[in-house]
């Protein structure tokens, strides 16, 4: 049955960016109770009445929804893409097909959920719905969208069906999104996929219409998201949140009587469940991820591989993992040759695999984690050992961490004792995850604080900023100068862990994670200098200045000030709200002091 989707309407918004964003921020989910008030009237509104086009609400959360089935002649095939106007290249469709099904050796009977990540085809035009990238700036760095990648969230069902030639019903419902909100989208799939498999396309169309009516994913706002009779309460984190905390209120009150599901997190996985088989080596794995070392997770199913890869990437939070990572990777992936070649060193990437073929193909990789079935919450698997790589022959090899890596830091026995005690006392996995997440957070912060302190010292003094000169440059990052600061202000101030911290820093400074982190910090500091320069300009008596300068110089100043305003708006410079208004007032005053013919020209030029 063909799904109805307005083929002529793309997801892009044709209104000015600021209007569209304002409209998106002001949208409310239908039927949500206001605090202490009555439900708002539900209106049949397809989004156009709120200043957004049909499907813009949907595009804020998802690129599209795919249904992947198994055809005896074609193999895996995309049966449905919804909305119908959604654009996917043939290469992207092929990747989705293969990544949406577990490898045949996984033997996944029943329902299975997992996640994958794949590269967007080059040359794809960035659609205008990136008006919602306005919100990206307020997200923590590790939740910002990567324009080069899509996430796929899968709900796969395989059950016996004698009426089919193959003897099995095999189908996946897949949500394709730019947003790395793993826990959120898995929860959405749990709500809609089982019924979709029973009711088929009309149900999917109704679910997508619900998503199109959601408010935009604005960081810091508590959102009520209704889908097929269920209302989910979520909050997207912001870069201003204290790391390691969840802001969403979990108590029930009168205004929340229609809330079915409250999600304390949108992106985190069950950290302890994933690290459980290897928690003795969790600190070593933290080092490997921090340093961007090539890492393979060999697991029995895509659920285990994707959860473990995502847990590894998450363990260095609030630092962002800047290299590529694939929660589930197959031999059909378009990057298979690139990542498995032996003609060059393995790339900085974390791969999650399930096919036994990879045991041979990737045996030259320096670090391999082989895990067995992840036990249900409450059951503790036997702890794996660190083994030499030469002992890894097949995927049937015993679970273990296969590496010759020697950690820089001594193992923290305190955290191991704490987690082991929790196991003996049958402490819930959620509580164990909180302990492990706090440990990783404190470890990462102890490591990054000395770098933050040194980088802050590269900032020129505020008194060196002159309104009549270009903003001063940041001082250069000098590794040896930084190393000297560690003696007095190193991680020993905040961490009890001993070891070769300097060796770890030297290695980190050569890694993609340092490059990515420093690039962002340098951009933030450069923008801060630009903002301070703007503020210095605003404090000047510009009308007095133009009295001492020629008409040509005055026109040049107006054009430069207008460019500064455009830059501040475009780059979201951290300027005080009144600074922009002051600058506009200055510009208007200067223009009015000029001859009338010039006034007309300058008022039409750019923004005022």
Tokens standing for 573? 């410079």
Cα–Cα distances in angstroms (integers) from residue 197 to residues 101, 158, 191, 504, in the given order: 16, 11, 12, 50
Angle at 66 between CA 141 and CA 180, to 5 degrees: 10
How far apart CA 581 and CA 569 sit, in angstroms, is 12
Residue at token pair 């005055």: 554
Instruction: Give the best-scoring range by mean pLDDT among 45-59, 236-250, 425-439.
Output: 425-439
The DSSP-derived string for 552-589 is: HHHHHHHHHHHHHHHHHHHTT----HHHHHHHHHHHHH
Beta strands in 181-316 (DSSP E): 222-227, 230-235, 261-262, 295-298
Q: By C-alpha distance, which of 237, 262, 242, 243 is closest to 252?
A: 262
The class level of CATH for 56-215 reads alpha beta
**Number of C-beta neighbours around residue 429 at 10 A:** 19
The string of DSSP letters for 307-343 reads HHHHHHHHTTTTS---SEEESS--TTSTTHHHHH-SS
Q: For the chain, how big is the Rg over CA atoms in Å?
A: 27
**Residues in Cβ contact with 414 at an 8 Å cutoff, skipping those fewer than 6 apart:** 496
Rounded Cα gap, residues 261 and 380, in angstroms: 28
User: What's the pLDDT score for residue 190?
Assistant: 95
Of 189-203, 389-403, 433-447, the poorest mean pLDDT is in 389-403
At residue 238, what are phi and psi to the nearest 5 degrees? Answer: -120, 165
> Between these two residues, 256 and 361, which has the higher pLDDT value?
361
pTM score of the predicted model:
0.84
Phi, psi of 8 (to 5 degrees): -80, -15
Q: What confidence tens digit (pLDDT) does each residue in 553-597 have?
A: 888 888 888 888 888 888 888 888 788 888 888 888 888 888 877
DSSP 215: P
Q: Which residues pair with 153 in a beta bridge?
A: 115, 175
Residue 5 confidence (pLDDT): 35
**Greater pLDDT, 84 or 25:** 84
Supply 340's token pair: 């498995």
State yes or no: pLDDT of 481 exceeds 80: yes
Please work out, in degrees rounded to the nearest 5, the angle formed at the alpha carbon of residue 318 by the alpha carbons of 489 and 377: 125
C-alpha 359/C-alpha 389 separation (Å) is 11
Beta bridge partners of 19: none
| Nearest by Cα to 204 from 172, 162, 231 | 172
Q: How many CB atoms lie within 10 A of CB 441?
A: 16
Q: pLDDT tens digits for 309-326? A: 999 999 999 999 999 999
Residues 450 and 89: their CA atoms lie apart, in Å, by: 45
Q: How confident is the model at residue 71 (pLDDT cuts 50, 70, 90)?
A: confident
Q: Tell whether the model's pLDDT for residue 41 goes beyond 50.
A: no
Residue range 367-395: mean pLDDT, rounded: 66
CA-to-CA distance for 109 and 158, rounded, in angstroms? 5
Q: What are phi and psi of 381, to 5 degrees?
A: -75, 165
* Residue from 239, 299, 292, 234 nearest 261 by CA: 234
Rounded CA separation 46/210 (Å): 10
The mean pLDDT of 192-221, rounded to a whole number, is 92
Write the CB contacts of 96 (distance below 8 Å, at least 6 apart in sequence). 66, 68, 78, 88, 118, 152, 174, 176
Between the alpha carbon of residue 349 and those of residues 297, 436, 543, the distances in Å are: 11, 23, 57
Confidence grade of residue 449 (pLDDT, cut at 50, 70, 90): very high
Is residue 470's pLDDT more than 70?
A: yes
Residue 217 to residue 266: CA distance in whole angstroms: 11
Confidence of residue 75 (pLDDT cuts 50, 70, 90): confident
Calculate mean pLDDT across residues 469-490: 92
pLDDT at residue number 163: 75
- The yes-or-no verdict on residue 439 having pLDDT over 80 is yes
Question: Is residue 521 within a helix (H) or strand (E), and if so which, with residue range?
Answer: helix 512-538
The pLDDT, as a whole number, for residue 537 is: 84
Other Cβ atoms less than 10 A from the Cβ of 15: the count is: 16
Q: Cα separation of 228 and 327, whole Å?
A: 29
Per-residue pLDDT at 12: 36
Domain extent listing, the chain: 56-215, 270-510, 541-605
Q: Which two tokens stand for residue 602?
A: 């300058």
Confidence category of residue 23, pLDDT binned at 50, 70, 90:
very low
pLDDT: is 460 or 381 the higher one? 460
- What pLDDT shows up at residue 32? 31
Under the banding of pLDDT at 50, 70 and 90, the label for residue 203 is very high
Helix (H, G, I), strand (E, B) or coil at 471: coil
Q: What is the pLDDT of residue 35?
A: 31
- 263 vs 182: CA distance, rounded Å: 12
pLDDT at residue 463 greater than cutoff 90: no
To 10 degrees, the CA torsion angle through 307, 310, 316, 319? -150
Where is pLDDT greater, at 586 or 327?
A: 327
Residue 415 and residue 497 in contact, taking contact as beta carbons nearer than 8 Å? no
Q: Give 420's contacts (C-beta < 8 A, 6+ positions apart).
A: none
- Give the DSSP letter of residue 135: G
Segment 87-144, tens digit of pLDDT: 999 999 999 999 999 986 666 778 999 999 999 987 655 544 445 566 778 888 899 8
Query: What number is the average pLDDT over the span 163-169?
Result: 76
We find that the CATH architecture of domain 270-510 is: 3-Layer(aba) Sandwich (3.40)
Q: How, if at all, do strands 400-403 and 385-387 pair?
A: parallel
Cα distance between residue 440 and residue 569, in whole Å: 37
* Position 387 confidence tier, pLDDT thresholds 50, 70, 90: confident
Residue 386 has pLDDT above 80, yes or no: no
- Of all helices (H) and strands (E), which one includes residue 597? helix 596-604
Under a CB-based contact definition with an 8 Å cutoff, are residues 394 and 360 in contact? yes
- Whole-angstrom CA distances from 241 to 138, 140, 235, 439, 494 are 10, 8, 11, 18, 21
For residue 163 the two structure tokens come to 């009426």
Predicted pLDDT at 33:
30
β partners of residue 170? 158
Predicted pLDDT at 138: 84
- How high does pLDDT run on average in the chain? 82
**Top-confidence residue, 606 or 349:** 349
């Amino acid at each position: 049955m063909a799904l109805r989707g307005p083929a002529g309407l793309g997801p892009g918004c044709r209104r000015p960016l600021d209007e569209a964003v304002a409209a998106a921020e002001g949208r409310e989910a239908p039927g949500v109770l206001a605090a202490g008030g009555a439900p708002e009237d539900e209106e049949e509104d397809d989004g156009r009445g709120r200043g957004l086009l049909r499907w813009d609400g949907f595009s804020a959360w998802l690129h599209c929804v795919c249904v992947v089935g198994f055809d005896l002649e074609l193999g895996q095939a995309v049966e449905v893409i919804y909305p119908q106007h959604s654009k996917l290249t043939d290469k992207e469709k092929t990747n989705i097909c293969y990544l949406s099904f577990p490898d045949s050796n996984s033997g996944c009977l029943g329902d299975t959920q997992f996640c994958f990540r794949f590269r967007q085809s080059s040359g794809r035009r960035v659609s205008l719905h990136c008006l919602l990238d306005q919100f990206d700036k307020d997200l923590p760095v590790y939740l910002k969208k990567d324009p080069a990648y899509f996430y796929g969230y899968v709900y796969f069902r395989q059950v016996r069906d004698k009426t089919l030639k193959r003897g099995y019903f095999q189908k996946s419902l897949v949500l394709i999104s730019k947003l790395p909100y793993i826990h959120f989208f898995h929860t959405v799939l749990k709500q809609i996929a089982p019924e979709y498999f029973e009711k088929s396309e009309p149900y999917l169309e109704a679910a997508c219409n619900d998503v199109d009516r959601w408010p935009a994913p604005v960081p810091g706002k508590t959102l009520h998201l209704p889908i097929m009779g269920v209302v989910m309460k979520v909050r997207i984190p912001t870069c201003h949140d204290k790391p390691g905390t969840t802001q969403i209120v979990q108590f029930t009150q009168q205004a929340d009587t229609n809330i079915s599901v409250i999600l304390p997190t949108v992106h985190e996985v069950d950290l302890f469940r994933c690290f459980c088989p290897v928690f003795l080596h969790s600190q070593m794995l933290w080092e490997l991820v921090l340093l961007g070392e090539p890492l393979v997770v060999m697991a029995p199913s895509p659920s285990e591989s994707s959860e473990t890869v995502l847990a590894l990437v998450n363990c260095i939070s609030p630092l962002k993992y800047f290299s590529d990572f694939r929660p589930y990777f197959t031999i059909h992936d378009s990057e298979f040759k690139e990542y498995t070649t032996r003609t060059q060193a393995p790339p900085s990437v974390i791969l999650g695999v399930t096919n036994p073929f990879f045991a041979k193909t990737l045996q030259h990789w320096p670090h391999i984690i082989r895990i067995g079935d992840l036990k249900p919450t409450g059951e503790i698997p036997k702890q794996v050992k660190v083994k030499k790589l030469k002992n890894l022959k097949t995927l049937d090899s015993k679970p273990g961490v296969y590496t010759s890596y020697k950690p820089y830091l001594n193992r923290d026995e305190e955290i191991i004792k704490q987690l082991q005690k929790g196991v003996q006392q049958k402490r819930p996995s959620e509580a164990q995850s909180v302990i492990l997440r706090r440990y990783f957070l404190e470890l990462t912060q102890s490591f990054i604080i000395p770098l933050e302190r040194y980088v802050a010292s590269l900032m020129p003094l505020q008194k060196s900023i002159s309104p009549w000169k270009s903003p001063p440059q940041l001082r250069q990052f000098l590794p040896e100068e930084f190393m000297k600061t560690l003696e007095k202000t190193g991680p020993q101030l905040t961490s009890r862990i001993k070891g070769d911290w300097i060796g770890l820093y030297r290695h980190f400074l050569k890694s993609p994670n340092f490059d990515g982190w420093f690039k962002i910090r340098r951009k933030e500091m450069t923008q801060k200098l630009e903002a301070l320069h703007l503020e210095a300009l605003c404090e000047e008596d510009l009308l007095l200045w133009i009295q001492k300068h020629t008409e040509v110089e005055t026109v040049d100043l107006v054009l430069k000030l207008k460019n500064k305003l455009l830059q501040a708006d475009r780059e979201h410079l951290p300027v005080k709200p009144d600074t922009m208004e002051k600058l506009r007032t200055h510009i208007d005053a200067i223009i009015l002091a000029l001859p009338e013919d010039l006034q007309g020209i300058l008022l039409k030029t750019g923004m005022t």
